[in-house]
Structure 1
């Protein structure tokens, strides 16, 4: 955490041409720094204007001298990122003449202690009111940081990644003492020049325990400011540094929520939480998004602070003339309490924290990360009211959102997962069970596309960053994650048509596997499989086959029959595509041999594969034998009618190929008569697909074509 970057919400600017290094100025700077850590000092109007106009994603508070105020405000007052202005001067009456024109001015101050008091109050209220919400709705595109995010593909992945990251923090073993010391060291580095925060950091180090986490989170301190902005902006680096505290906060909220739910039968019904409020300023265009999203879901990106007191909520609001004041009214329906049976499965706990908070008079109710709310209405009275309903996870949309990782909870093995993507996911089988779902999701969905559908350098950087954070969480699996990262990024380049880069990433992954994971031969096999597929896509048959043969050598050396079977399957596929019939037959026989060894022989598939092979060799007699056996397998397993008809038609085609026309015609007619309705729903006539152009002329020479064609024509009419 570099002191040169702002990890808090507010940036404070002080512009005064008379700033110097005398004691009073130094004292003022020190005191201002304790209020806002990220602090910029200017004595030049143009430099100030340039900075304000460049800080598009910051929340700027400006202290300006009376002599420069009117000049600088004429240039920057309407900048969206400039939130509040404080005029600090020697003559209040003189500057009252021009300050009334600017709505963002909070006051004119001649006493610095009065300035400190008002600035502190305004900063605290503003920080408290900041919130980022993701909307499950159609996309909007803007260039600013907003309090409401669009649920575009990028936001989808960001939010999914945040949820996934929190889950992995909860599940992966953590040495909290080490994590705590890491966090404290980073905070001390960031607040090097802020003695007030350094004192709080010392207090945190000496007195913190999990039971006090809510108190610390609600205090006016570095904890709230750093954690809240990191969550709101999805700054995974900072989230990781505060991982133990986020875990403690979530777990205490959940345990207290369980205790609260268990006590419902004994507490005063008036103390049951039914309605809470939150008030904040949002931009006009953001309000329009809310109005267009009625019935949809929203999800705050951080712990969500509310209060049971509507008037109290309105006191915690700070905004500007370019925004609208909105009261969010959140209803917790009776059904939530009635349906709460299994207390261990509360997904998003909430809690009234008055006894645990630093500010007990605020009647604060805090919702955990990932809470979901349905937008019920957006209406204008004396101010805008947005009515939300807390959702408890029973809604299908909510289940889909929360259970994404469960949907990805699959076992990957060499036989059942044949695509190159799934073979990469074989790496996840090596990770702790609790983290596999998270890594599966990130590998499969972690990269999002830009508006043109192309993966950009920025998204690749984000993707790589996510893997690096996974490596921090799972340091014992650093090299396996490195391989997964290289192969996943390589696939993205492959999909973009940049095959040279795709091969380069594959070779880098293979180098890691062969250098650092020699004892785990499957990592090398996965890398070789990736490279073989890339060469195959490039129609480089010789190179691809050579790699598969290298894989065979490795799998045989380690007696890995499962991998051998999968490799022979891939060899069979590539030799079939490139017409290498001799090698194709070798691979088919090896597949059957290995299936029998592993006890997973698939007679149905094998008969079909051999039939297809001999058909392409134009050995129709042997092909007919295997297709008949394939048909018998389908009959025994009571396959669906369409599969049976396909297989039976294939037999007819073999009879036709070696001129047994009567047998072929009998089969085709039986296919037509089998189930006309099914054939119609299938979309096309199997007879039309199977009968060759030469078939009818040959029939005509040997049989009474008129009678047969009339018969077939009548059948076709009936089918139609």
Structure 2
């Protein structure tokens, strides 16, 4: 959040900050342009959403617009009409708003799209598998990201979790991460009343936290969520066993996901090889859902 007039002692700022922290674990306020730019360029593996005042944004946005990790920009000002022209010239500027509420609504949609599209994949070409087999190499010669995800899955499914103890550990961690208390209490008080799939699909912190941990192979967070990952996996496995008898033939499911040019080329090169998604996947039997997802990404 870049604004020369930020006053952290003001009630309006604290209310806006609280609203943003219901969406993001990390919110960094800046009053100095150079410090903000240094921060933007120091982040390598995460998408950044920037809220900027119009006075600083008009001169700063053209300079930072092409920073790869900067995904979306919102202009926060009281005079929207005055700044429409320059904002339209910058494709990453997605809106000009005079209050924090509409910005928060757009940020929620943006983070949901980000979590959906950022699910990582490991590509192993058929040639690499054949070479490993012909030379009798071990599986540890395969890409590290693939091996880490396979090993973690094997370990996490074998651990005998104490749900109450694991929940207390997760709750303490969530409080350290400034997760809204109302969401923490909801999870802790009602966890066993709902299914793991229900919790995973509920629009709250759990979905994003789990996806980010799996995407970045953040072992600390993955271990804290281990009991939930195990329960979610087991429920999906049980549903598959119960329903698979009803489907005698293979069928197609659809999923729309944004790919970088590099990943798309890796996908083409991996035909006949292995493709591993390091996450839980949401799909649909309706191709329309795929088209909608793709159009939203574009």
What is the TM-score normalised by the length of structure 2? 0.87
**Cross-structure match for 1:218:** 201
Deviations 1:125-178 (A, max 9, x none): 222222100000379xxxxxxxxxxxx978634432332232223224332322
Q: CA deviation at 1:248?
A: 0.4
How big is each residue's C-alpha offset from its partner over 1:55-100, in whole Å with a ceiling of 9 and x where there is no partner?
A: 1112100111111112211221111101111111111121112112
> Residues 186-585 of structure 1: matches in 2 within 5 Å?
186-191=173-178, 194=179, 197-209=180-192, 212-264=195-247, 274-316=251-293
Q: Distance in 2 between matches of 1:52 and 1:240?
A: 29
C-alpha spacing 1:161/1:25, structure 2 compared with 1 (3 Å): closer
Secondary structure (helix, strand or coil) at the match of 2:217 reads coil
Distance 1:19-1:273 versus aligned 2 partners, 3 A rule: farther
Structure 1 residue 108 corresponds to structure 2 residue 85:
no
Q: RMSD value over aligned CA atoms?
A: 2.4
What does 1:616-635 align with in structure 2 at a 5 Å threshold? none
Alignment partners' CA distance in 1, 2:20 and 2:170: 24
Cα distance in 2 for partners of 1:85, 1:153 equals 42
Question: Aligned to 1:166, which of 148, 153, 156?
Answer: 153
1:387-438 Cα distance to aligned partner (Å, 9 max, x none):
xxxxxxxxxxxxxxxxxxxxxxxxxxxxxxxxxxxxxxxxxxxxxxxxxxxx
Where does residue 133 of structure 2 map in the other structure?
none
Structure 1 CA distance, aligned partners of 2:158 and 2:64? 48
Q: Which residue of 2 aligns with 1:183?
A: 170
Distance 2:153 2:272 in 1: 27
Identify which of structures 1 and 2 has the higher relative contact order when contacts are C-alpha pairs closer than 8 Å and 6+ apart.
2
Verify the 8 A CA contact 1:66 1:89 in the aligned structure 2. Answer: yes
- The structure-2 alpha-carbon separation of the partners of 1:56 and 1:204, relative to structure 1 and needing over 3 Å to count, comes to same
Q: Cα distance, 1:210 vs. partner?
A: 7.9
Distance in 2 (alpha carbons) for counterparts of 1:169 and 1:292: 31
Residue number among 106, 112, 117 corresponding to 1:129 in the alignment: 117
The correspondence for 2:40, drawn from 47, 52, 70, is 52
Residue 223 of structure 1 deviates from its aligned partner by: 1.4
Determine the C-alpha separation between the residues in 1 that align with 2:143 and 2:19.
41
Corresponding residue of 2:16: 28
Q: 1:295 to 1:57 in 2, by over 3 A?
A: same
CA contact (8 A) 2:62 2:90 kept: no
Cα deviation, 1:321-354, whole Å, max 9, x if unaligned, reads xxxx5xxxxxxxxxxxxxxxxxxxxxxxxxxxxx
CA distance in 2, matches of 1:261, 1:291: 30
Distance in 2 (CA, whole Å) between partners of 1:217 and 1:172 is: 20
Other structure's SS at 1:62 match: strand
- Corresponding position of 1:658: none
Secondary structure of the residue aligned to 2:175 is helix
Count, aligned residues = 285
Q: Secondary structure at the match of 2:96?
A: strand
Whole-Å separation in 2 of the counterparts to 1:312 and 1:31: 30
- The CA distance in 2 between the partners of 1:49 and 1:123, in whole Å, is 22
Q: Which runs of 5+ in 2 are unaligned?
A: 129-138
**SS where residue 169 of structure 2 aligns?**
helix
Q: Structure 2 vs 1, CA of residues 296 and 176 (structure 1 numbering), >3 Å: closer, same or farther?
A: same
